[in-house]
Amino acid sequence: MTTDAQAVQTKAIEIGKLAVRATTSADAGHLTTALSLAHLKAVLTCRVMRWDPAHPDVPGLDPGPAGAVRGPCRVDHLRRLRRLGLASPDLPPHAAASRWSNRILMERAMNETRPIDPSHYGEPGAAGATSINLALACSAEAIGTFLLVLVGTAVATAAVLGKGTAGPAYDSLSVALSFGLILIPVVGSLGQVSGAHVNPAVTFGLAVAGKFPWRYVVPYWAAQLAGAVIAAVVVWAAYGPGAYADAHLGAPSPANGASALQVLLVEALIAFILVFTVISTTTDKRVPPGTAAVAIGFALAAGVLLGGPVSGGAGNPARALGPMIVAGTFPVWAFYCLGPLLGGGVAALAFRLVGMANTPKVADAGTSTSRTLT
């Protein structure tokens, strides 16, 4: 390494430490005065590594093999710039570095690796590192699924056992409404935290629609199943041995002699209704704010009413498997998993197609000018 390169590397390390300290202490003065554009370029885009023959024209700090004088910047930094929308596929990282003069963008990049500021513990959205944020989001999914399955299966268990609150026992309408009503506050309270999927079919549908990262699908599924299992255990503890022996903790099963294929079809239809509503109300900016939670809750209630007489109305692999695992009974369990995933995937593809449309407007004949109706 040449003397000039060593000096630049040393300066980059010093400025990098100052930048991290400035962002974690929210000291804007240190950051803006200490980091010139050249130093910022060195910190964010140039790291010590050997020359990459796949990118021979991108300048770097280290001498490469075969007499090469300069090597490229780290490929992972170029990928980070592109992922954050600060570099096009044809733009090398040293050219994209000039866009980092904005302090907000600087913090956004460092947010992936810096720890949570101790002074910000407990504040909404304070999780910075990707791994920490994923763990907290999965915890939120577990809590949301726990609440959904707890309330819905508890009402279903009470209906089977003939236990009422202040009168006759619950009926099928009560079960459907319980699932829909509890989903409204769950979506309203956790929607901005984890998305409040609380259903593997919703997670899968959002991923198919391109609205959720595929690499987070399996962790979300695991968290949702864990929440459902805990909810089933709590229902067992709250309602006693009869909940396990007679109601199977609210686990769904084919009703009225329904076949496995009928269960598959009905479960897919429930998930289609729910996932289509979730994607259309949460990912389309044209939807008025505040309507998503109510619409999603009533969509689930309608789906449970539709599927109850055939499959028990699950529409949610976690809601079905959680009580099944604890109760030790697995009636056509694969169809309770495959059906919602199929329906959620079809709903996502359907919305990607129809969501491109806009409401037609009335126009005068022969012109493109819209006419207001009074």
Whether residues 108 and 204 share a domain: the answer is no
Ranges 9-13, 241-245, 276-280, 287-291: which has the least confidence: 9-13
| Whole-number pLDDT of residue 264 | 97
Report which listed range, 40-54, 93-107, 252-266, is most confident. Answer: 252-266
Look at residues 148, 143, 319 and name the one whose alpha carbon lies nearest to residue 227: 143
CA distance 220 to 209: 16
Same domain, yes or no, for 185 and 95?
no
Same-domain check for residues 200 and 74: no
pLDDT tens digit string along 306-323? 999 999 999 999 999 999
Residue 172 predicted with pLDDT over 80: yes
Task: Kindly state whether residue 107 falls inside one of the protein's structural domains.
Answer: yes
What is d(CA 174, CA 107) in angstroms, rounded to the nearest whole number? 49
Q: 370 forms bridges with which residues in the sheet?
A: 363
- In a domain, residue 347? The reply is yes
Confidence band (pLDDT; 50, 70, 90) for 168? confident
Tell me the residue range of the domain where 305 lies.
133-354
The answer to whether residue 121 is domain-embedded is: no
3-state SS class at 363:
strand
Distance CA 108, CA 103 (A): 9
Q: Are residues 202 and 322 in the same domain?
A: yes
| Rounded mean pLDDT, 329-345 | 96
Write down the pTM of the prediction: 0.66
Of 126, 132, 100, 128, the closest CA to residue 114 belongs to: 128
Percent of the chain predicted with pLDDT > 70: 63
Dihedral Cα 178, 181, 186, 187, nearest 10 deg: 130
The CATH number that applies at residue 279 is: 1.20.1080.10
pLDDT in tens, 53-87: 454 444 443 444 444 434 444 455 555 555 555 55
Please say if the pLDDT value at position 154 is more than 90: yes
* pLDDT on residue 189: 95
Q: pLDDT > 90: what percent of the chain?
A: 54
pLDDT exceeds 60 at position 117 = no
Q: How far apart are CA 34 and CA 16, in angstroms?
A: 10
pLDDT above 80: residue 287: yes
Residue 123: the pLDDT is: 67
CA distance 8 to 58: 17
| pLDDT digit string, tens, across residues 181-238 | 999 999 999 999 999 999 999 999 999 999 999 999 999 999 999 999 999 999 999 9
Same domain, 84 and 229: no
How many angstroms separate the CA atoms of 235 and 158, rounded? 10
Residue 370 has φ and ψ, to the nearest 5°, of -70, 145
Q: Which stretch, 47-51, 166-170, 323-327, has highest mean pLDDT?
A: 323-327
Q: Are residues 256 and 298 in the same domain?
A: yes
Q: What average pLDDT score do residues 123-138 get?
A: 79
DSSP secondary-structure letter at 259?
-
The mean pLDDT of the chain is 77
Asked if 235 and 95 sit in the same domain, the reply is no
Identify whether residues 45 and 194 lie together within a single domain: no
Q: Is 23 exposed, middle or buried (0-12, 13-18, 19+ CB in 10 A)?
A: buried
Q: Residue 372: inside a domain, yes or no?
A: no
Mean pLDDT calculated for residue range 297-306 = 97
Q: Does residue 10 lie in a domain region?
A: yes
Query: What one-letter code names the amino acid at 336?
Result: Y
Domain boundary among 114, 142, 165: 114
Instruction: Please give the Cα distance from 151 to 29 (Å, whole number).
Output: 51
Q: Are 180 and 297 in contact (CB under 8 A)?
A: yes
User: Does residue 98 lie in a domain region?
Assistant: yes
341 with 365: CB under 8 angstroms? no
User: Are 257 and 329 found together in one domain?
Assistant: yes
Roughly what angle, to the nearest 10 degrees, separates helices 333-354 and 317-327? 170
Identify whether residues 175 and 207 lie together within a single domain: yes
Tell whether 178 and 325 lie within a shared domain.
yes
Q: How far apart are CA 338 and CA 334, in angstroms?
A: 6
The answer to whether residues 228 and 307 belong to one domain is yes
**Inside any domain, residue 199:** yes
**Domain count for the chain:** 2
- Arithmetic mean of pLDDT, 263-284: 96
Residue with the bigger pLDDT between 71 and 243: it is: 243
Which tokens go with 269?
């239809």
Residue 270 inside a domain? The answer is: yes
Taking a C-beta distance cutoff of 8 angstroms, is the pair 254, 331 a contact?
Answer: yes
